[in-house]
Amino acid sequence: MIERLQENFEPHPWQIFRDQLLWTREVNLILDANKVGIMAIYKRYSHKKQLKVTYASAMRLMMSDTSIKLLEKDAKICYAMCLQTCAYIVK
């Protein structure tokens, strides 16, 4: 059954981007080199009981707590895009 699913699978256009440019050794090396800082940000902005970054925390991070200062509409797009790969989201 899995073989049949795989032969009929057509990736979405963004999957090609992920495979070719995002899920690469180079990106993994950058993430690994910055793991301590990434985890510090995650711990600061994640909800303590659910261990996830809430919408409000993510908006605060992207719109006010960094030098980037995204506009609200751009921050919402970033937040929505990061949720696309989450199969199970607990509210």
Look at residue 30 and tell me whether its pLDDT is greater than 80.
Answer: yes
Q: What is the pLDDT of residue 61?
A: 96
Look at residue 9 and tell me whether its pLDDT is greater than 80.
Answer: no
Quote the percentage of the chain above a pLDDT of 90.
Answer: 53
pLDDT digits (tens, 9 = 90+) for 34-54: 999 999 999 999 988 878 888
Q: What is the pLDDT of residue 3?
A: 61
Look at residue 6 and tell me whether its pLDDT is greater than 70.
Answer: no
Distance of alpha carbon 21 from alpha carbon 5, whole angstroms: 25
Q: What is the pLDDT of residue 2?
A: 57
Distance of alpha carbon 61 from alpha carbon 10, whole angstroms: 35
Q: What is the pLDDT of residue 89?
A: 58
Q: What is the pLDDT of residue 5?
A: 63
